[in-house]
Structure 1
Amino acid sequence: MQRPLALNGLVYSKDNSLTYFIKRFDRIGHNKKLALEDFAQLSGEDRHTKYKSSMENVLAIIEQFCTFPKIEFVKLFKLTLFNFLVGNEDMHLKNFSLITRDRKISISPAYDLLNTIAQKNTKEEIALPLKGKKNNLITNDFLKYFAVEKLGLNQKVIDGIVQEFHQIITEWRKLVGFSFLSQQMQEKYLQLLEQRCKRLNF
């Protein structure tokens, strides 16, 4: 998937425990800071109200502020599919951001992309409702309603994105197996991935 990600990884600490790190992407060198605003700030919400929105509002923010919103809509669609497939139901407003580089405003590199459903008991499938719902989402909610009706993507673009996912899902399964997750967590992760792929006919 050609989706910019914030540089991140795991390093061993002195006590031999693993520590997660993420490199700041709003800095150039030691002194220059890039303008970065999350979608909670842009919509007048805060950390206490970061779930009080919708995916439709997310695309409205992109349309309002981004220099080339149509390009960003493709990124948003990929990110939305990814989060659903891997079970990230914590993609709230503060996990979307816009960054300004060379006078161009675009979606920032993605961050906080993880499987949250396998780690806790949750009754929701996504953090921000799509088509008024957070559960029981089906293929048409993503590929017809969101991609076509709301984002205005043409069928060729949609088919290309779906094909990208088809090609990469096998690699995802391998990566889960190579991860530091326990055997039990790996099984839960893969089980969820299989369920979501079937839901979307991937």
Structure 2
Amino acid sequence: MIEIKNCPSSLVEGFDTYSPKSAKLLFGKTKVNPILRFDIDEFRNVGEIADAMHRISVSGVQEKFPAIINADAINIAGDNERSTHILKPAPWDKTLRDRKMIPSNEHLTMQIASQVYGIQTAANGLCFTPKGQSVYITRRFDILPDGSKLPMEDFSSIIGKNEQTAGLQFKYNGCYEDIAKAIRANVAAWMVDMERFFELVVFNYIYANGDAHLKNFSLMLDGQDYRLAPAYDLINTSLHVNGDDFGLDGGLSSDIEKSDVYDRTGHPCRLDFERFGYKIGLVKKRIDRILNKYIGFPEEAKRLVDHSFLTEKLKRNYVRIVSERISRFNRVSE
């Protein structure tokens, strides 16, 4: 049995379960048991996962299970039940470093995005198997309290990328400017969502999310208008795999001039993100406001790392990786 000392959602100290505020946000009620009453391994389909393993990544081998909340318990949704939550246990693939810490990593990264940077994210937390293994849980933002579902479409579909048009690795095919163009074409108040998207691209670089591909950004219909969906699947992938700086093969853009730092080191600096911001239609004042948030490692982010459910070793590695990214970001181009 795991010993819980911090809220498994907000990471606030002094709670052995979800704090009332966090439980209300994540579950819509103040009391939910963080310990699952079933072994989630019973629901795994190893054959399906093996079929999906075409690229070394975290998301490619991570299963998702539909869940509902019954009374104070988290349960797997039945075939005829509309799920309100999603469970993501640790991947079974043993080639991933520290794979059992992946749920805790995603939870921490999502909390940093929300609490430290004010990024709109899906409500999330951790729950635990009877043996103490962490399982990531997130509330579906496309399901309304009355059970109705908001239309939602990811950018691989919006842009028209699939196995037939772009090959087996279609979700990694493209650049972030492709997503920006689709936002501008489909969102009425596109400038607001463009800033949100721009910050997500910066955050994913600084916090080493190498899996930020086309399917990890979506538009949802809210009323009569489409808007950028809350952020989801944010994770420091460098803890588990050796990957690239970006989750899309084309990086920021196919035709932006790279800084001399980028050319020399193979890693972008602030100037590259500034140029990307201009390219997608943002003004200097708004670009600087966002980029200035990432020139240092906030103490609040370090506190969340310390309070997280990562092992002590991975906490140190997490801080090291982000610190290295910040150092790269701050390099001055000649």
TM-score past 0.5 threshold: yes
Paired residues of 2:269 and 2:330 also in contact (CA < 8 A): no
Corresponding position: 1:173 with 2:302 = yes
Paired residues of 1:65 and 1:105 also in contact (CA < 8 A): yes
Aligned partners of 1:194, 1:7: CA distance in 2, in Å? 26
Note the C-alpha offset of 1:131.
3.2
From 224, 237, 246, the counterpart of 1:126: 246
Q: Identify unmatched segments of 5+ residues in structure 1.
A: none
Match of 1:11 in 2: 127
Corresponding position: 1:192 with 2:321 = yes
TM-score by length of 1: 0.90
Q: Which protein has the larger Cα radius of gyration, Structure 1 or Structure 2? A: 2
Larger mean CA deviation between 24-33 and 42-51 belongs to 42-51
Paired residues of 1:89 and 1:125 also in contact (CA < 8 A): yes
Indicate the structure whose relative CO is greater, using CA pairs within 8 Å and at least 6 residues apart: 1
User: Which runs of 4 or more aligned residues in structure 1 lie more than 2 Å from their structure 2 counterparts after TM superposition?
Assistant: 12-17, 131-135, 162-170
Q: Deviations over 1:88-113 (max 9, x none)?
A: 01000000000111112111000000
Q: Deviations over 1:138-181 (max 9, x none)?
A: 221102x1112x12222221222233345772211221121111
Secondary structure of residue in 1 paired with 2:194: helix
One-letter amino acid of the counterpart of residue 119, structure 1: H
Paired residues of 1:50 and 1:94 also in contact (CA < 8 A): yes
Q: Deviations over 1:18-59 (max 9, x none)?
A: 211011011112431101000011111237310111111010
Corresponding position: 1:110 with 2:240 = no
Percent of paired sites with the same residue: 31
Aligned partners of 2:120, 2:184: CA distance in 1, in Å? 19
Aligned partners of 1:200, 1:138: CA distance in 2, in Å? 4
Note the C-alpha offset of 1:182.
1.6
Match of 1:161 in 2: 290
Paired residues of 1:38 and 1:94 also in contact (CA < 8 A): yes
User: CA 1:199/1:166 → structure 2, altered by over 3 Å: closer, same or farther?
Assistant: closer
Paired residues of 1:131 and 1:141 also in contact (CA < 8 A): no
Backbone CA RMSD of aligned residues: 2.0
Aligned partners of 1:165, 1:105: CA distance in 2, in Å? 28
Note the C-alpha offset of 1:183.
2.0
Match of 1:140 in 2: 271
One-letter amino acid of the counterpart of residue 175, structure 2: S
Corresponding position: 1:51 with 2:181 = no
Aligned partners of 1:88, 1:167: CA distance in 2, in Å? 18
TM-score by length of 2: 0.56
Secondary structure of residue in 2 paired with 1:89: coil
